[in-house]
């Protein structure tokens, strides 16, 4: 609540304005209620509205989060995570670097969609017991908490803490079997190896129960990182967990940040079999493009491209052959070496 004290303590917005006939605070509140709040609550959308507000506001400020490595995840990616991990109404989902709560909003949306409207007990369980988030930055934590309150609680399982300082074994006791992660980018170095994106990845995987599912979106450089520390972390991951595949994404996914991202999908608690074939999928042309003065927009082809991607992932089209359909190319591990994940 301390993050909101500025609203209570700012004199100018709490005194009646003659031209408005009311306090600016009441004017703003009515405007937001009618134009925004009702859309958030009643639209039943997986859109992270507050995240979009935050990103827009930051684009006009002196600091847009880049120095902290903060890159908010677009809605089509948070929804894609839910589809890739086949999130169900019985899952327990954790995002240990939850930011404004985009992954948690999408996960809760997908879980509720699979639950009957009249199953009040189950819907309450999803909101209060099956969504977990951790965020280190106070202002981000405030946004994510508010996000979950707007969508019907869920706030009780959000924690304002440093994920990397928490014991994975203790987090594992929460019973989370689905993990989603978009870690801070470009913060790691030889002096701070714990801040490498791959370090966050290992910490998440160690925090999930055996047989869990996890997806992370990181720069390609994180997957191909060649420092000795990063190589050792990757070896450690594969000794404990299974890499299912890597999906190379559109370079404009985070168009303001100059990042070439990819998604890595894992099964947790099961050592990687040296004979396993990983899937490496080129999904650079995903049907999204940057429009001038607007940002990243969805083209009419986006839904079909996404569906084909999911068909490829779940129908085993990658087995011992290459498949091409327009922009999507799939090759097995033995054939494609563009993203060498295993050192």
pLDDT digits (tens, 9 = 90+) for 318-332: 443 344 444 455 444
DSSP string, 146-215: HHHHHTT--GGGEEES-GGGS-HHHHHTT---EEEE-PPSS---SS-GGGSHHHHHHHHHHHSPTT-EEE
Cβ pair 217, 261 in contact under 8 A:
yes
All structural domains of the chain with their residue ranges: 1-43, 47-332
Average pLDDT over residues 83-102: 94
Tell me the pLDDT band of 189, cut-offs 50, 70 and 90: confident
Q: Tell me: the pLDDT tens digits for 113-135?
A: 999 989 999 999 998 899 999 99
Tell me the pLDDT band of 238, cut-offs 50, 70 and 90: very high
Average pLDDT over residues 76-86: 95
> What's the rounded Cα separation, in Å, for the pair 134 and 141?
8
Average pLDDT over residues 29-42: 84
> What's the rounded Cα separation, in Å, for the pair 119 and 109?
15
Tell me the pLDDT band of 342, cut-offs 50, 70 and 90: very low
- Please tell me the CATH code under which domain 47-332 is placed: 3.40.50.150
User: Among all chains, which residue has been given the structure tokens 């190319």?
Assistant: 329
Average pLDDT over residues 73-79: 91
Tell me the pLDDT band of 49, cut-offs 50, 70 and 90: confident
- Radius of gyration for the alpha carbons in the chain, expressed in angstroms and rounded: 21
Tell me the pLDDT band of 187, cut-offs 50, 70 and 90: confident
Q: Please tell me the predicted confidence (pLDDT) of residue 329.
A: 52
Cβ pair 95, 181 in contact under 8 A:
yes
Q: Please tell me the predicted confidence (pLDDT) of residue 324.
A: 46
Q: CA triplet 118, 124, 125: central angle to 5 degrees?
A: 120
Tell me the pLDDT band of 1, cut-offs 50, 70 and 90: confident
Q: Please tell me the predicted confidence (pLDDT) of residue 335.
A: 38
Average pLDDT over residues 179-188: 88
Q: Please tell me the predicted confidence (pLDDT) of residue 162.
A: 95
> What's the rounded Cα separation, in Å, for the pair 19 and 82?
48
Of all residues in the chain, the percent with pLDDT exceeding 90 is 53
Instruction: State both tokens at 243.
Output: 């890499």
> What's the rounded Cα separation, in Å, for the pair 195 and 208?
20
Strand partners, 296: 290
Tell me the pLDDT band of 293, cut-offs 50, 70 and 90: confident
User: Among all chains, which residue has been given the structure tokens 């304002």?
Assistant: 160
List CB contacts of 244: < 8 A, sequence separation 6 or more: 265, 266, 267, 278, 279
């Amino acid at each position: 609540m301390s993050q909101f004290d500025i609203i209570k303590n700012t004199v100018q917005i709490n005194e009646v304005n003659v031209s408005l006939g009311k306090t600016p605070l009441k004017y703003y509140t009515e405007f937001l209620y009618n134009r925004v709040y009702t859309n958030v609550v009643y639209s039943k959308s997986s859109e992270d509205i507050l995240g979009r507000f935050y990103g827009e506001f930051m684009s006009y400020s002196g600091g847009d989060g880049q120095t902290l490595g903060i890159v908010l995840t677009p809605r089509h990616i948070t929804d894609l995570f839910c589809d890739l991990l086949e999130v169900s109404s019985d899952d327990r989902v954790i995002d240990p670097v939850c930011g404004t709560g985009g992954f948690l909003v999408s996960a809760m949306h997908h879980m509720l969609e699979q639950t009957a409207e009249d199953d009040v007990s189950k819907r309450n369980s999803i909101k209060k017991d099956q969504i977990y988030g951790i965020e280190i930055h106070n202002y981000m934590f405030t946004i994510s908490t508010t996000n979950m309150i707007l969508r019907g609680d869920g706030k009780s399982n959000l924690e304002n803490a440093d994920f990397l300082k928490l014991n994975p074994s203790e987090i594992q006791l929460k019973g989370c079997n689905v993990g989603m992660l978009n870690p801070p980018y470009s913060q790691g170095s030889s002096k701070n190896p714990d801040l490498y994106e791959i370090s966050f990845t290992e910490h998440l995987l160690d925090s999930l129960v055996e047989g869990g599912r996890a997806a992370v979106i990181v720069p390609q450089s994180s997957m191909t990182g060649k420092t000795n520390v990063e190589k050792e972390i990757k070896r450690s991951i594969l000794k404990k967990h299974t890499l299912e595949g890597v999906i190379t994404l559109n370079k404009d996914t985070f168009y303001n940040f100059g990042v070439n991202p990819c998604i890595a999908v894992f099964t947790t608690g099961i050592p990687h079999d040296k004979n396993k074939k990983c899937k490496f999928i080129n999904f650079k042309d995903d049907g999204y493009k940057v429009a001038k003065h607007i940002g990243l927009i969805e083209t009419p082809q986006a839904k079909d491209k996404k569906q084909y991607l999911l068909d490829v992932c779940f129908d085993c089209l990658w087995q011992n052959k290459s498949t091409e359909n327009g922009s999507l190319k799939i090759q097995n591990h033995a054939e494609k070496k563009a993203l060498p994940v295993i050192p």
